């Protein structure tokens, strides 16, 4: 296979496309789409989101230090895109995108009821990186929809139809190709 060199850029794809919800100190809520997100630590459970400082949600998250990462599904693809191209400065994106607000249990922020998983986060550090600032946060609670639990009480990723984002396009996930350690597991 021949290779060519490209200039440095972001080529780590696909990414999760998530809806981040937040609330400012006056009680105003917003939702924004984020693809710059990921897990950074398992103990304690931590993740990050990277947000441009000019985004409407940026000062909300910075002043309260709280947000929720709401996983998205095939059914939420329109709302996911909509919340990424519209600003909460001009409209209530929850209403415009047809999203139902719920409440986080451990922080003061809304959740999206249609999301199969709501990850409540408390910011530990904000790191200015250039075009985006990274909010490094501890996971303080997770709410999971019972609709996606299997008979053993485990979350069924394949049934959720989660979204991924790559180069300006949304993709459906869910077909399992193997499980951790399957390549070395003894047969039979």
pLDDT tens-digit readout, 130-180? 999 999 999 999 999 999 888 888 888 778 889 999 888 999 886 777 778
Q: Return the closest-CA partner of residue 64 out of 110, 24, 14.
A: 24
Domain 15-172 matching CATH 2.30.110.10: the answer reads yes
User: pLDDT tens digits, residue range 96-123?
Assistant: 999 999 999 999 999 999 999 999 999 9
- Report how far residue 17's alpha carbon sits from residue 72's, in angstroms, rounded to the nearest whole number: 7
Question: What is the pTM (predicted TM-score) of this model?
Answer: 0.92
Domain limits, the chain = 15-172
Runs of H (alpha helix) within 52-187:
57-64, 77-85, 93-96, 157-160
Residue 125: its H or E element? strand 117-128
At residue 14 the predicted structure's pLDDT band, cuts being 50, 70 and 90, is confident
Structure tokens at 64: 């309260």
Q: What is the mean pLDDT of the chain?
A: 93
Count of Cβ atoms closer than 10 Å to residue 2 Cβ: 3
């Amino acid at each position: 296979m021949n290779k060519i060199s490209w200039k440095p850029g972001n080529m780590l794809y696909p990414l999760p496309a998530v809806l981040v919800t937040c609330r400012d100190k006056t009680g105003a809520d917003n939702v924004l789409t984020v693809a710059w997100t990921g897990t950074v630590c398992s103990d304690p459970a931590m993740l990050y989101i990277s947000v441009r400082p000019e985004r409407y949600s940026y000062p909300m998250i910075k002043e309260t230090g709280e947000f929720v990462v709401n996983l998205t599904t095939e059914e939420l693809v329109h709302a996911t895109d909509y919340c990424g191209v519209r600003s909460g400065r001009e409209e209530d994106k929850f209403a415009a995108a047809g999203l139902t607000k719920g409440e986080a249990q451990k922080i003061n922020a809304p959740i999206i009821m249609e999301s199969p998983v709501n990850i409540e986060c408390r910011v530990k550090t904000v790191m200015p990186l250039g075009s985006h600032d990274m909010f490094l946060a501890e996971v303080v609670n997770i709410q999971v929809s019972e609709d996606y639990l299997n008979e053993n009480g485990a979350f069924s990723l394949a049934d959720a139809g989660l979204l991924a984002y790559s180069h300006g396009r949304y993709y459906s996930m869910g077909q399992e190709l193997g499980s951790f350690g399957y390549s070395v597991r003894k047969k039979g």
